[in-house]
Chains A and B, each alone.
Chain A
Amino acid sequence: MSAPDDHPGMEIDLLKGSSRTLLNRVLLAQETWIAIAILVLGLVVSMIAPKFATPGNLLNIFQNACFIGIMAIGMTPVIISGGIDISVGSILGMCGVTLGIVLNADMPLVVGIAATLAMGVLCGTVNGTIIAYVKLPPFIVTLATLSIGRSLALVLTNNQVFYEFGRASDAIVALGGGYTLGLPNVVYALVIGVIVLHFLLTMSRWGRYLFAIGGNEPAARLSGIPVDLIKISAYAFSGFMVGVTAIFLVGWLGAVTNSIGTGYELQVIASTVIGGASLTGGFGSALGAGIGAILVETIRNALLLAGVNPFWQGTFVGCFILAAVLLERIRSVRR
């Protein structure tokens, strides 16, 4: 965000050493390697499948990646704090259903948006509160809410599909499926999300405390950091970003089924980890989450266009997760 200033070794970047040149730091960043992986993958595939490198397809990749990317941005603070949220797919279901019900009742779009975001924050706060105060492991708690959320979505909709959005019909489709200045609206949401989270992680007390909690929770407590509140806020933030995703996704699909978001948690966590977040806590970045999501979507799209049986997708994504974690290991030795 800012260049090293007149004090030698005084640059602001929280997680980088002092004696490194800019080039050195760029080369050591996970984001750089993921970007290179995307380029190489793209070049190889465009030789096999000429359709890959067309502007239409690239834009398509980017747009699809945004839905996962926005959720990955929400996941990043949770993972930095040493937690995990595997309920995001179900929260997306809850948010989507909320939006469907509210708009179906002929409410204005703003009411629908507010209700959807509130539902996301509520779900995240429930997760965070159980984790922080009942002190159960995040994996178990969010596994439970994954199940509960999906079931409640069914209960609420009674297995009904919403495609009638009353007076907000045009507006929601324009928001989620529309373009501004030649780019899909959801792309702006992702870019703003990356910028805001990057700012929060590097420039705010909240970000600093997330890293501290993920690095050494007892130490954070001894330093007087309100550890429990910060944890809850991380899950609430994740829920909020899921709400944002739900709004764009519903507008893009033009309908809400109660299975919306099923299985998304895997891709979201994969994106975050590929982008350099550590599941043991203490590391992660906003840009990494966004780029990770683009890589995951590029793999999906490339395999499809290269004519590879889609059953192979999971294998490729899995291999990239392993490669990313190994890369992280190698980098931390060299650091």
Chain B
Amino acid sequence: MPVLARLEHIVKDFGAVRALDNVSLDINEGEVLGLMGDNGAGKSTLVKTIAGNFQPTSGTYVLEGKSVQLSGPADARRHGIEVVYQDLAICDNLTASANVFLGREIMRQLGPLKVLDHKSMNTRSAEIFRELKSETRPADLVVRMSGGQRQAVAIARTRLAKSKIVLMDEPTAAISVRQVAEVLALIRRMKDQGLSVILISHRMPDVFEVCDRVVVMRRGRKVADKPIAQSSPEEVTGLITGAIQTA
């Protein structure tokens, strides 16, 4: 599997707090990577570093073979890295299609004016929802949607730009069991389309259900990085708590 992104000896300090301590990590094409760890272990910091929200204190970030310094999330997006910000990035009062295209609307010419091309945007988002096998309808208001459908809208946003890496920070934290299944199905579908997904989750069953590989963080360090098939929930629990040192 080709490597899309590589972190080498990344350190991230917040004042005296070392949130990431010499973390190296490969992100492979078409792979779902589960990122686990206790509260404060550094998972979000790692993902935000990959997404360009944070610049590492030291270490190298290699994208497509070249060392990069991302200036921010917009820069990361240009490199094909998208973050699903869950509820934070969705407007309830807009339609699904308006949300998918928010900030990058398709315009059409109307006489001397440029106006919103509702039809093209609806058609294109309907296509994306079909690809994701989601029943979300483009012209429906998000406020009436289930948690799973909202996730589909957030994920559809990442599909506009033909991204390669999608980062998801606890997408299943605040939704019902049935909707969790829906989100996991969406993740599998992204993988089928050749995307790499990084899934942060506290839920062991989710990680073992969809991930190919699991990485465990503890106090800023990476303490495990192995194929999911060669691990077990017991081992991961031990790694998270520190009962098992490394694996």
Contacts and interface: CB of A to CB of B under 8 A. Distances in A.
B137 A18 contact: yes
A211 interface: yes
A222 B74 CA distance: 9
A218 B116 contact: no
B91 A17 contact: no
Q: Assign chain B's interface to a size class.
A: 20 to 34
Interface string B106-142: 0100100001101100110000000000000111110
Given A11-B139, A17-B140, A335-B141, A203 B91 contact: no
B236 interface: no
B112 to A, nearest CB: 13
B103 A223 contact: yes
A12 B118 CA distance: 6
A225 B104 CA distance: 9
B144 interface: yes
Nearest to A225: B103
Interface in A171-211: 202-205, 208, 211
A17 B144 contact: yes
A10 interface: yes
Interface in B61-112: 73-74, 85, 88-95, 98, 102-105, 107, 110
A10 B139 contact: yes
A166 interface: no
A283 B95 CA distance: 13
Contacts of B137: 9, 18
Interface string B132-164: 000001111100100000000000000000000
Interface in A96-111: none
A34 to B, nearest CB: 20
A147 interface: no
Contacts of A219: 85, 88-91, 102
A15 B92 CA distance: 10
A10 B90 contact: no
Contacts of B118: 10, 12
B102 A10 contact: no
Nearest to B142: A215
Contact of A212 (B94, B119, B122): B94
A222 B85 contact: yes
Q: Assign chain A's interface to a size class.
A: 20 to 34
A247 to B, nearest CB: 26
Contact of A282 (B93, B102, B119, B140): B93
Contacts of A223: 89, 102-104
B91 A220 contact: yes
A214 interface: yes
A16, A212, A219 — which one has the most chain B CB atoms within 10 A of its CB? A219
B98 A14 contact: yes
Contacts of A220: 91, 102-103
Contacts of A15: 93, 95, 141
B95 A10 contact: no
A160 interface: no
A225 B91 contact: no
Contacts of B138: 9-10, 18
Contacts of A282: 91-93
Contacts of A218: 88-89
Given A11-B139, A203-B115, A224-B74, A215 B105 contact: no
B92 A215 contact: yes
Contacts of A18: 137-140
Nearest to B123: A7
B90, B137, B138, B139 — which one has the most chain A CB atoms within 10 A of its CB? B139
Contacts of A224: 74, 103-104
A216 interface: yes
Nearest to A219: B89
Contacts of B140: 17-18
A146 to B, nearest CB: 28
26 contacts: A9-B137, A10-B122, A10-B123, A14-B98, A15-B95, A203-B116, A205-B107, A208-B94, A208-B98, A208-B116, A211-B94, A212-B94, A212-B102, A215-B91, A215-B93, A215-B94, A216-B91, A219-B88, A219-B91, A220-B91, A222-B73, A223-B102, A223-B103, A225-B102, A282-B92, A335-B144
